[in-house]
Amino acid sequence: MLNEWEIELACIDDGGRLGLLTEEFHGWLFTQMQLQSNELADKWHQSSIKPFRIHLREVIPYGHTVHHGDRIRVSLTGLTEEAGEWLPGLLEASKEVRLGRVMFVSTETKVVRSSSFESLVKGAFGAARHRPWQFRFVTPTVIRSDGKNILFPDPEKVFSSLSRRFYELSSVELPTLHADWNRWIDIHRYQLQTSSIKFSTHHLLGFTGYVQYRFHQRMPNYEQALFHLLSDFASYCGIGYKTAMGMGAATTNEVTRSAE
């Protein structure tokens, strides 16, 4: 299953300064996992592709000061059956959540959307869709390739990254998850900017904004369906590096004729 939860947290301290909230929530989540199962926490920690994604509903910069009663909302997406089984138990209402030096309490946890790999496959392979697709990069995004940080959503880099993530996380078997993406997909238009995200020990540069991908009409049907499958999947799993710490959040949608 693919489940996205929204967790509302209320500050119960007199106040304090936060670090990077998504990094601190990531740390709290692993601490809770260790209390439940050291073996599972180690497995997830060592995995290069994490079975969950974290991002914020609103931008909260590094060093932001919170006060008693302030509320923040965190989005957490489970990307495997195992994550779907374990994560809800860590998000119980009224549980105290320490983020850095500031104590919060969870006031509400709700599922905001859910799907499954089978449903994504059925939707992608069951309907012909020929319009361009828009990817909106909501939080700073960087794609790691050959030891380098790529600051542009090149089709080959984006869809190859998504293919690897789908292969690692999904139990659905497909004939192939590979295609010659730069042969079949063009960038129709884009509007991007770079921005820096501050972690506790370093800064990382990423890009935000949007890009519209358009595929060639001669693109084989299977590759077209694969393109749509990975585009739908991207909105759940995120794109690129450190998606479990708030980077790479993306929304995707088919572009209407008036928006082309």
For 14-57, how does the pLDDT look when each residue is reduced to its tens digit (9 = 90+)? Answer: 878 899 999 999 999 999 999 989 999 999 999 999 999 999 87
Cα torsion at 80, 242, 157, 149 (round to 10°)? -160
E strands of the chain, at which residues? 2-11, 15-17, 52-56, 65-67, 71-78, 96-99, 102-115, 133-141, 143-145, 148-150, 185-198, 203-215, 250-254
Mean pLDDT across the chain:
91
Domain spans in the chain, listed from the N-terminal domain onward:
2-115, 117-259
Please tell me the distance from the alpha carbon of residue 20 to that of residue 176, in angstroms, as a whole number.
Answer: 38
User: What φ, ψ does residue 96 adopt, rounded to 5°?
Assistant: -80, 140
User: What φ, ψ does residue 81 adopt, rounded to 5°?
Assistant: -60, -40
Residue 93 banded pLDDT, cuts 50, 70, 90: low
Q: What is the mean pLDDT of residues 102-114?
A: 94
pTM, to two decimals: 0.93
User: What φ, ψ does residue 186 adopt, rounded to 5°?
Assistant: -110, 150
Provide the sign of the torsion angle of the four alpha carbons 228, 248, 135, 145, taken in this order: negative
Can you spell out the DSSP letters for 101-167?
TEEEEEEEEEEEEEE-HHHHHHHHHSS---S-EEEEEEEEE-EEETTEEE-S--HHHHHHHHHHHHH
- Are the folds of 2-115 and 117-259 the same? yes
pLDDT digits over 142-176, tens only?
999 888 999 999 999 999 999 999 999 998 989 88
Check if CATH label 3.30.70.1890 holds for domain 2-115: yes
Which tokens belong to 103? 């104590």
Check if CATH label 3.40.630.10 holds for domain 117-259: no
